[in-house]
Amino acid sequence: MEITVKLYGRLRKYRPDDAPGAPHHSFLLEAPEEATPAAIAAALGIDPGLVAGAAVNGESTSMDAPLQEGDQVSLFPPTAGGDGADMRIFIAGIMQATRMDDQIESQNYRVQITEALQKQLPQVQITDPWALNPGSVNYDEERARHTFITNTNRAGDADLLIAYLPQPSMGTAMEMWEAFKGGAYIIAITPYKHHWSVRFTAQEIWPDLDSFIGLLENGRFTQETLPKIRAYRNQVDGASPDD
């Protein structure tokens, strides 16, 4: 059967010499009927210890998962972007959103994003305003004002801001603006892709939380997105991409 293979990072040196295209391009490979990602790696001469994970058709999978005709297989080395120790990530998103009362929407999305990030980048520095102030709905006027202004300003110090916007959010828009002014790479998770405040500040727009979590879990965030974030930050800071 015929499958499509894409190699990442240091694994690209195992790409067949006769495969057309650039090293980062995918290529076609004839595979036996009962092939697995592990078998594909072995066929390319890749030592098992050099493969940290695999994805099939964009979904993370085990190295022993059976493949089918036409599958797209990605093989990943240990994290190309490092362990994230130098990366500051700010999690922005709806709290009050469009509510008319003094309560907030569910903040479970913050836990999901944080856990998925830490699984891929165990040393990453995460700033989550809700985790820092879980009882903020009960703050008095002075403390609430200080918390709001402080957290909004913190967004400007991030390397990456992740904004979860299933609904419009004035607070998140302000955090995105601060991050934009600070030169942060911005990923918006929202159906409002045509809104100017999203279009002209975010470098990436994902339609929903599941698709973004999938990006983290299948390894593409560390292999593709993280290097883009670093390159963007280097460009903003006026540094060489090799710094």
Per-residue pLDDT of the chain (243 residues; tens, 9 = 90+): 999 998 877 788 999 999 998 887 889 999 998 899 999 999 999 998 888 778 888 777 889 999 999 999 988 876 555 556 678 999 999 998 878 887 788 899 999 999 999 988 888 899 999 999 888 888 999 999 999 999 999 999 999 999 999 999 999 999 999 999 999 999 999 999 999 999 999 999 999 999 999 999 888 888 888 878 877 876 776 543 343
Domains, the chain: 2-76 (3.10.20.30), 88-237 (3.40.50.450)
- Do the beta carbons of residue 77 and residue 10 sit within 8 Å? yes
Instruction: Give the predicted TM-score (pTM) of the model.
Output: 0.68
Closest CA to 86 of 236, 243, 230: 230
